[in-house]
Structure 1
């Protein structure tokens, strides 16, 4: 039992060394998807931010691909645009699969 307790205490919490959670390509594609749908429904960044409880400056970072939102924020953005979150995610995947020269 003492050996198993020593093993547990040796486990390091948090992200492994060298891991990263930010993926620039995914962030850019998601931001582009948000911008497309926001413009399609005729909202400004500020209006979308207000609906989703996000600062306008943060909306700009999301749309420019400087910030990759977590699940909670994706859900709030989708709700603010009256759509299912899967629509944003599906469009993000489409943009990631599209060669850069044709975007």
Structure 2
């Protein structure tokens, strides 16, 4: 078993750090909700179609969570769109910030 030097950083996320970017998450949520409503689907129907928990879909749409790559791909497939169509508005907001 390797021995870590005393000054080595601790593994994992630093205390108090969050990877959630609220602005980005909200833009993604609005986009995903618009696609879902345009498809005439309820959150429950989308959950059944994608195998994603309805509560997670709700959190995504409210901007309280960011999707994993797998969740993004499942959502796109369930909504009948491409993943880049869900990410397009998010990317525009992100590029304006930098």
Please indicate, yes or no, whether the TM-score normalized by the shorter chain is above 0.5. Answer: yes
What is the aligned counterpart of 2:39 among 38, 41, 66?
41
Q: Distance in 2 between matches of 1:8 and 1:33?
A: 46
Q: CA deviation at 1:26?
A: 0.9
Larger helix fraction of residues: 1
Report SS of the residue matched to 1:19. coil
Partner of 2:72: 74
Q: Distance in 2 between matches of 1:88 and 1:71?
A: 12
Q: TM-score, normalised by structure 1?
A: 0.75
Partner of 1:15: 13
User: Could you tell which deviates more after superposition, 20-29 or 49-58?
Assistant: 49-58
Gaps of 5+ in 2: none
Q: Considering only CA atoms, is the larger Rg found in Structure 1 or Structure 2? A: 1
Two-structure CA RMSD over aligned residues (Å): 2.2
